[in-house]
Structure 1
Amino acid sequence: MTGVGRGGDEYDVVISGASLAGSAAAALLARQGARVALLERRSDPGAYKVLCTHSITANARPVLAELGLVPALEALGAPSNDARWWTRWGWIEPKAAPGGPALPLGFNVRRSTLDPLVRARAAETDGVDLLLGHKVTGLLREGGRTVGVRAQAPDGEGELRARLVVGADGKDSTVAKLAGVPGREHANGRFGYLAQYRGLPLPGGIGQVWFLEPDMAYAFPNEDGVTVLAVLPGKRRLPAFREDLEGSFDAFVRGLPEAPPIEGAERISKIIGTVDYPLHSRRSAAPGLALIGDAALTGDPLWGVGCGWALESAHWLAGTVGPALVGRAGLDQAVAAYGKLHRRRLTGHQFFAADFAKGRPFNPVERMVFAAAARDAGAARHMYHYAARLIGPARFLGPAALARAAAVNLRHRRAS
């Protein structure tokens, strides 16, 4: 299909945004029998998000597996995203327990590789119409619920009617704005710049993350021998970066503990970034409407969880509303169930991310758990499971975990 119908084409679902969340949701819903219109404002099927951590946390690997994309990513050379984290107490180096299962890992992969791959998987799924160059300009409303969209297509404007409209159109979601979805914005006390390098060796060939309190940095190996290097300083450093971006970027990297040797590497991209990246939290469900990915919740990029949550939220949506779409009953209740699930799974994560985004040093509890993770293999594994979003804040900072961290630190003080 190449355009929106003048008489209002009928679908089960219209999804605005064919990036990770939208494409994954389209494929997963269509596999259940739904007819899906997947709208993408850009006309290029190879379009991709430029500003990104370029890493997928382990929580999303099951979604990639369900989409059948793990073998493709491995064939493309996307490395697993194991990493070590520098702190003032030393390096935290998560490893599997002796004789225990391997740590679940995600992938480091550039969006120029990932986005077209996931979009193509959606486009080849029976029941999905990928409509490139289609921009949502309005919502259709009847009886207090959303029943479709108005969209500008390459050949004119028209309407698409659907039982469910899904906003997967990013942190500045047009769908959310048109629907008047309530939300909350959290200021970010850091800014960020990144660049891609070839020939940049990293210890162990794995990712490196620096917690400099409050500044941050990371270096992640990606496919094709490329390393993504990012700096996320507190905004007190912004004037220097504005005056001399390249000089400030290089000086920041050279000042890192065990700094990556950028002098001997080839920078193959511009230094790109943003000086203002607030966190957004929106209500993710309303009658006839759902938000997924960054449209529902935009986290702090320093944690690298955006891709993982985009894929997970698409999976949650498909799991809750898919049966109702096919059964043609109870859809609004299913959408509400998705909203509750999204809120339950991510509100705690966002609360702590928004607090740390203030650009402050570690608080006493953070000092305790990070110090313990640098000194104890079990504490390091526990922290990894939280960083990979395999456990939530309640378990990460539960009484047993805090007691263990306190005991580790006490033993360290006694020994020293």
Structure 2
Amino acid sequence: MADDYDVVIVGASIAGCASAVLFANLGARVALLEKHSNMDAYKVLCTHTLQPSCMPVLKTLGLLPLLEEAGAQEHVTHLWTRWGWIAPQPEPGKDALPHGLNIRRQTLDPLLRRLAAETPGVDLRLGQNVNGLLEENGRFTGVRITANGAETRVNARLVVGADGRNSTVAGLSGLPARLSANNRLGFFAQYRGLPAPEGNPSRVWFLDPDTAFAFPNDGDITVVACSPNKEQHSSAFREDLEGSFERFVRALPDAPRIDEAERVSKIVGTLDLPNVYRKPYGPGLALVGDAALATDPLWGVGCGWAFQSAQWLVDAVGPAVAGQGDVLPGLAEYAKVHRAGLDSHHKLMENYSAVRPFNPFERLLLSAAARDAGAARHYYAFASRLIDIKEFASPGSLLRAVRVNAFHRLRNGSSDSAKARTPF
């Protein structure tokens, strides 16, 4: 048996559903395949946050009203550093800072899957296990699936792997991949009724090298996570996960008051979550979301990058798909845009996941951001993935940071305790 589509997408999570809706809105006939048979399945191990950089895609998809109705929480992230809190505020008299959204995957995934299923042109097929790729004349032309004991071929002019960091499609395609060690653990728990600071911001702690975060979500739930370094903490977390997690969180500066809240989930996580970087396309095939690039979760970028990579793919190849043209030139363009948008961010995150201390440029810029409102807004634009590393660490930004810190030292003199710890 064989079915014919314009696009077959493997994986009906964020990247897959977003791609399906965007392709179908151009007139393409899309097969959206999902291995889970439950419409309400969702990803458990996740930061449950959407960065400001992906907000335009949510608007294009028509998702924002649905997310707001579901209780998604707007957020601006505050960051604790040894120099104090970086708490960005809008410039006086100017618009509010760009915000992201926090929403649990158990809310987001079913909502997004239903949006895809209700989009004309999308054929959502649950309980489908891909076990092979179809090839003809040196290009991929579809997938082979097994469902209910029967094997079916799905032919398509474009195959999209949206099936996560352990992507079956990527493995079957043979596309080159680079894995690098992440020397941090990662553990998450959800708390209901957690007391929040004024404004209820998302909060991240950079203990250098350990990290943690607390993100307020829908349903009065806050996701609390910690990422301690493996060398120091692996044994303790293996022997006493709950006790180690709670002790770590309680010891944070201005710590989340977890003892005044109700934990409503298990403590979930992993002792090993390497960074994964893959070539995002092949002949007749593309990878989106974590299938293409899976980064240390402490930065909370995975969900947003899934939406963005879906948009970039459809922008690049959608016209050819809709017009029955050749998708190959567009796939090369997609890879170019993907690299330009994410590579520099990923490489910095990959490097930091080796559990190194902040380098001199990071110390300079972060210390200035804790002391100056303009520097804090500049840092926030970078942490929100709205600017790239070149703009973040531009000569002008570095010069401003030097001035901020020089003025800080002059104002505080030798009594400044931070000065004793760091040149900034």
TM-score, scaled to structure 1: 0.97
| Cα offset, 1:155, TM superposition | 5.0
* Aligned pairs (5 A) from 1:10-409: 10-204=4-198, 205-235=200-230, 236-409=232-405
* Offset at residue 154 of structure 1 (A): 2.4
| 2: CA distance, partners of 1:378 / 1:372 | 9
Q: Residues of 2 paired with 1:129 and 1:77: CA distance?
A: 28
Note if contact 1:17-1:168 (Cα within 8 Å) is conserved in structure 2.
yes
CA shift, 1:75, in A, is 1.5
Q: Deviations over 1:37-96 (max 9, x none)?
A: 000000001110000000000111111111111111112221112121110000000111
Q: 1:317 offset after TM fit, Å?
A: 0.6
CA distance in 2, matches of 1:146, 1:33: 22
Count of residue pairs brought into register by the alignment: 410
Cα distance in 2 for residues equivalent to 1:284 and 1:83: 30
1:305 Cα deviation from its structure 2 partner: 0.3
- Look up the equivalent residue of 2:347 and give its one-letter code: F
What is the match of residue 422 of structure 2?
A: none
Deviates more, 1:32-41 or 1:237-246: 237-246
Tell me the secondary structure at the aligned position of residue 38 of structure 2. Answer: coil
8 A Cα contact 2:216 2:222, kept in partner: yes
Structure 2 distance, partners of 1:9, 1:72, is: 32
SS class of match (2:73): coil
Q: Which amino acid aligns with 1:123?
A: A
8 Å Cα contact 2:116-2:122 kept in structure 1: yes
Amino acid at match of 2:371: R
Could you list the per-position Cα deviations for residues 139-167 of structure 1 after superposition, in whole angstroms to 9, with x for gaps in the alignment? 00111100010011125111000000000
Runs of at least 4 residues off by over 6 Å: none
Distance between the aligned counterparts of 2:129 and 2:80, measured in 1? Answer: 43
Distance in 2 (CA, whole Å) between partners of 1:154 and 1:388 is: 44
For 1:80, what is the secondary structure of its paired residue? strand
Q: Which amino acid aligns with 2:57?
A: V
Would the aligned equivalents of 1:55 and 1:81 in 2 still touch at CA under 8 Å? Answer: no
Checking the alignment, whether the CA contact within 8 Å between 2:77 and 2:380 is kept in structure 1 is: no
Output the amino acid matched with 2:357.
Answer: P
* Displacement of 1:330: 3.0
Runs of 5+ consecutive residues of structure 2 not aligned to the other structure: 413-424
The answer to whether the 8 Å contact 2:195/2:260 transfers is no
Deviations 1:309-337 (CA, angstroms, capped at 9, x unpaired) = 00000000111111001112231101111
Q: Tell me, what secondary structure is at the counterpart of 2:124?
A: strand
Provide the TM-score with structure 2 as the length reference.
0.95
Name the amino acid aligned to 1:242: R
